[in-house]
Copies of this chain bind each other. A is one copy, B any other.
Amino acid sequence: MSNIKVAILGASGYTGGELLRLLVNHPEVSIEYLTAERHAGKNIAEVFPNLYKVLEMELHPLDPTLLPSDIDFVFLALPHGKSSVFVKDIFERDIKIVDLGADFRISHQNYRKWYGEHPCPELIDEAVYGLPELYREEIAGAKLVANPGCYPLSAILGIAPLLKREVAEADSIIIDSKSGVTGAGRSPSLDLHFCEVNEGMKAYKIGEHRHMPEITEILEKFSGLDVKLQFTPHLIPINRGILSTIYLKLKEKKSTTELLDIYNDMYEDAAFVRVCRENEFPSTSMVRGSNYCDIGVKAFQESNTAIVVSVIDNLVKGASGQAVQNMNLMKGLPESTGIENLPIFP
């Protein structure tokens, strides 16, 4: 009955685990094959004890030649640089792919500048940026989708409407983003040790985070404008959630109502974007565990500026939920299949 046979390469990190949480109950998916370099040979439920007696499958080594022949969808949840090695082989076997890594999100030129040598440049042009609110049709027809980065997703959904309608200036955007710790991945390090993170907060990689060129490029492509922005990520001691506070200059005076109309209009058909009412702003608690992106907007007429607040669960809309949404589109399923679970509060 389940007609999509899925493989996840890199199943032992947080985005891999979140894919499993969502896909186990997806009515059209059968999870067939999992890899995890360091944990090969183990059962996935040893790596994610929450899956105990729910999904007990062996983890395989990361070898694309071992991919079973009947797989018809692959999620790549690997560190950047690693995806590309497999993606070509899989791509040529006509298996559709969502890559949750960074390899196919940005141009070759920017990739080289921010990440280094690209291991598979020939496929860059094949990839569609997996943000359905901007590129729904392109995704539906794609064989290879580059799933957005978590910060970019929250920022782009907050900014795109005002650039597209040419309401905001494109050359002076400020994005102040705050992220929970799952966004930093599952590899142990002193920086992510419980006691180092707990009860504190900090900015990091100020002006040099790799998600900055991704935000810039996608906004430029979508709006046709020349975009200049500042982006400051912060680490906040919670598990899940990104909140981006975005400061924009408006080209001309607009009221909050006028701005909200633009958002409501652009996201009218977006099942997972919820525009807040006037004078309301979202908390990350409103979206925890769900695929929603909630957006609040306020205009300041005296200064001709606007502040936009955008929140997501970085593991769902910011990663694995978005990946499933993309798979649904690529496979012709209703967009929200398997990701309709409500936010969990508190």
Q: Please list the residues of chain A having a beta carbon within 8 angstroms of any beta carbon in chain B.
A: 14, 17, 20-21, 24-25, 48-54, 174, 176, 178, 181-182, 186, 188-190, 192-204, 206-207, 228, 230, 232, 234, 236-241, 243, 245, 247, 274, 276, 281-290, 294, 296, 298, 300, 303, 305, 307, 309, 311, 340-346
Contact = CB atoms under 8 A, between A and B. Distances in A.
A198 B237 contact: yes
B201 A243 contact: yes
B300 A203 contact: no
27 contacts: A14-B346, A25-B340, A25-B341, A49-B283, A49-B345, A51-B342, A174-B174, A176-B232, A176-B247, A178-B178, A182-B195, A188-B188, A195-B239, A195-B346, A198-B237, A198-B346, A199-B199, A199-B240, A199-B241, A201-B238, A202-B281, A203-B281, A204-B281, A206-B298, A230-B300, A232-B307, A237-B238
Contacts of A181: 194-195, 198
A232 B206 contact: no
Contacts of A232: 176, 245, 307
A208 to B, nearest CB: 9
A346 B174 contact: no
B195 A243 contact: no
B239 A199 contact: yes
A237 B239 CA distance: 11
A49 B286 contact: yes
Contacts of A230: 247, 300, 303, 305, 307
A274 B45 CA distance: 13
Contacts of A282: 49, 202
B300 A201 contact: no
Given A199-B285, A207-B298, 19 more contacts: A20-B342, A21-B344, A24-B342, A50-B288, A50-B342, A50-B345, A176-B176, A176-B245, A181-B195, A188-B189, A193-B193, A198-B237, A202-B243, A202-B284, A206-B309, A232-B307, A237-B237, A237-B238, A247-B247
Contacts of A294: 52
Contact of A17 (B48, B197, B206, B345): B345
Contacts of A190: 186, 188
A193 B188 contact: yes
A285 B285 CA distance: 18
A217 B234 CA distance: 28
A200 B340 contact: no
Contacts of A178: 178, 201, 234, 236
A133 to B, nearest CB: 15
Nearest to A242: B201
Contacts of A200: 238, 241, 283-285, 288, 346
